[in-house]
Chains A and B, each alone.
Chain A
Amino acid sequence: MSEQPPRAPLVTDAIPPRLRRTGTTPAGVLLMCVIGTLVLGLFASRDLVTWTQRFADAPGAPTAQRLVQKWDGWMAGLGLVEPHETLRSAVARLVDMGWGGGPND
């Protein structure tokens, strides 16, 4: 006894219609992106510093780096870099963990 495998339809929308019933406008998308970026700027300022260092040769890079470092300093003063550092160090410990529970050789 066997059943036939389902034949994939020619093209299926990745986001099905039932998930498209509600949503927003392009202006709403922009608002959401701006808010998301600001929140990301608050909590990911550490990576913002390393990111600007990758463009050290670009015009205006020193100014951008100075601004970003100042921003990161403010965020550190507010204690907002702590979640980032706690998570990253926790994952680093997990990565290094060996089968005995301690760090890998």
Chain B
Amino acid sequence: MLFPTFGFLLFFLVVAAALAALGPRFEAKKAVLVVASYYFYAAWDWHFCFLLAFSSAVSFTAGLLIAKHERHKRPILTVAVTIHLLLLGTFKYLDFLTLSANRLAHLLDLHAELPFIEVILPVGISFFTFHGISYVVDVYRGDVAVCRRPLDMLLYMSFFPQLVAGPIVRASYFLPQLQRPSTGPIPVATAVVLILGGLFKKVVIANYLATGLADPVFGAPTSYGGPDLLLAAYAYAVQIYCDFSAYTDMAIAIAALCGFRFPRNFDQPYRAQRLREFWQRWHISLSTWLRDYLYKPLGGNRYGRLKTYRNLMITMLLGGIWHGAGWKFVMWGAMHGGGLAVERMLGLGARPVSLWAKVVSTIVVFHFVCLAWIFFRAEDFAVASLFIAGLFSRWSQGVQQAGPFAVALILIGMAEQFTPVRLFEPLSAWLERVPLWGIGVAAGIGVAIVNALGPEGVAPFIYFRF
């Protein structure tokens, strides 16, 4: 069930009706949200609801045990995290590891082969695994009170707006919201603005850039000249940003309409002047998760330069592998890890001051990120290499695939990166003054316009596969 569909709209109408009917009964509302979230997840494959419930049970039990057996909390933490990682590893990496082992055996002229199982990847497993690990580690560290209500744990792990593609919501941020109902008003005007903006980014920009430019060129890079390849790389950079940030915007808005707060996940990442800054602006909930649960436990920057570089490399390599099983993701992570290490090595931690230096830094960082996206998007390592080689050849062919519309969408996507965020706030402020029925009419017309501007049917969000 995708957000920008009539199916989701009907689903949300039922949820909104139930929340409205229950009035101040907060526990009943949470129960409704848990049932709705499991229904939402079952729409993909109901079998995996058991996996989600098991993952929640592991975290819940581990939290209780850590609170009860203070002296043995470390082994309890280890067991819980291992179970989460084993689940993730089995569903996400078993096929990749089997294939890699068989290839190695073939290279070594060994005649033994491991059986290939073709494991189906449950949607959102990476996200709920990270939620589960975050909770257990936070309880272990004393950053969050142990959750003693199974309903709260079930909702924390399964809350449908973030279930399949994030943002990764920390236990210390979300669980306190389940202690008592929010007393503030529901910011409906801002939610509508976020939904309409997200729909436009996904349905119009990301969809057309994917079907019109990125997909065909990445599918057969040797058929195109340098200009098309370059524009396809830019197109993918804008597509993945619009796709993922659109999902996040809609998730934030839907959570707000249900009475909950979500953290910010994107902050105009392509305006970053340093790679480090890019990671403070891109998928913030993942980068801060990696920082707090991986980079810092590894030692962070506390044990000298070499160990800092090593820790950066390990963190980003694992961040790459988190996105998927494949050498192309390893390469993507290695590029970012290496880039961050080189930035530190050269003492480029600070942002430049002069305008020209800022412009040049932004362009350099953006192109480095685009280069890494090529590995991320390409079918495999070999296709990515062909793509990169093609960037420097066949410029005489001119532009074949990229039309003015695709280029305009790239420019619109990039312009959004440099538009002050506060420029959109007057729109929310104006909508706040409109009566509720007027907001409903505006939302209906807005969705109808975006729907008409987009192609028929909506492709799944890119981050669903992670």
Chain A interface (Cβ < 8 Å from any Cβ of B): 1-5, 7-8, 10-15, 19-40, 42-44, 47-48, 50-51, 83-85, 87-88, 91, 94-99, 104
Residue contact A19 to B428, C-beta cutoff 8 Å = yes
Partner of A43, one of B167, B186, B257, B444: B444
Residue contact A36 to B19, C-beta cutoff 8 Å = no
Complex Cα–Cα for A83 and B453 (A): 10
Closest A-B pairs by Cβ, 8 of them: A39-B444, A35-B440, A23-B185, A2-B350, A43-B448, A87-B452, A36-B443, A36-B444
Residue contact A32 to B439, C-beta cutoff 8 Å = yes
The smallest beta-carbon distance between A36 and chain B, in angstroms, is: 4
Residue contact B443 to A97, C-beta cutoff 8 Å = no
Complex Cα–Cα for A88 and B452 (A): 5
Residue contact B263 to A12, C-beta cutoff 8 Å = yes
The smallest beta-carbon distance between B3 and chain A, in angstroms, is: 14
Complex Cα–Cα for A22 and B185 (A): 6
Residue contact A24 to B9, C-beta cutoff 8 Å = no
Residue contact B274 to A14, C-beta cutoff 8 Å = no
Residue contact A47 to B276, C-beta cutoff 8 Å = no
Q: How many residues of B contact A (CB 8 A)?
A: 71
Residue contact B188 to A32, C-beta cutoff 8 Å = yes
Contacting chain A: which of B364-372, B379-387, B388-396, B399-407? Answer: B399-407
Complex Cα–Cα for A56 and B20 (A): 32
> Which residues from B are CB-within-8-Å of A44?
447-448, 451-452
> Which residues from B are CB-within-8-Å of A47?
6, 451, 456
Q: Does B436 contact A (CB under 8 A)?
A: yes
Given the known interface contacts A2-B351, A5-B280, the answer about A37 and B265 at a Cβ–Cβ threshold of 8 Å is no
What are 24 pairs between A and B in contact, CB < 8 Å? A5-B277, A5-B350, A7-B280, A12-B264, A13-B261, A13-B262, A15-B190, A15-B191, A15-B261, A23-B185, A25-B20, A30-B20, A31-B436, A32-B437, A32-B443, A33-B12, A43-B444, A43-B452, A50-B456, A83-B452, A87-B449, A87-B452, A91-B452, A94-B405
Partner of A11, one of B12, B16, B170, B212: B170
> Which residues from A are CB-within-8-Å of B9?
33, 37, 40
**A4, A23, A51, A99: most-surrounded residue (chain B CB, <10 A):** A23
Complex Cα–Cα for A43 and B441 (A): 11
Q: Does B151 contact A (CB under 8 A)?
A: no
Residue contact B428 to A26, C-beta cutoff 8 Å = no
Which residues B156-197 have CB closer than 8 A to chain A?
Answer: 167, 170, 173, 184-192, 194
Q: Does B349 contact A (CB under 8 A)?
A: yes
Q: Which residue of B lies closest to A105 (CB)?
A: B400
> Which residues from A are CB-within-8-Å of B444?
35-40, 42-43
> Which residues from A are CB-within-8-Å of B13?
30, 33-34, 37
Q: Does B17 contact A (CB under 8 A)?
A: yes
Q: Which residue of B lies closest to A10 (CB)?
A: B288
Given the known interface contacts A11-B173, A23-B189, A24-B185, the answer about A98 and B403 at a Cβ–Cβ threshold of 8 Å is yes
Residue contact B187 to A26, C-beta cutoff 8 Å = no
**B263, B436, B449, B457: most-surrounded residue (chain A CB, <10 A):** B436
Complex Cα–Cα for A97 and B322 (A): 40
Q: Which residue of B lies closest to A27 (CB)?
A: B20
The smallest beta-carbon distance between A89 and chain B, in angstroms, is: 10
B445-463 to A contact mask, C-beta < 8 Å, 1/0: 1011101111011000000
Q: Which residue of B lies closest to A47 (CB)?
A: B451
Residue contact B16 to A33, C-beta cutoff 8 Å = yes
Residue contact B440 to A34, C-beta cutoff 8 Å = yes
> Which residues from B are CB-within-8-Å of A12?
263-264
> Which residues from B are CB-within-8-Å of A21?
185
Given the known interface contacts A36-B447, A51-B5, A97-B403, the answer about A29 and B19 at a Cβ–Cβ threshold of 8 Å is yes
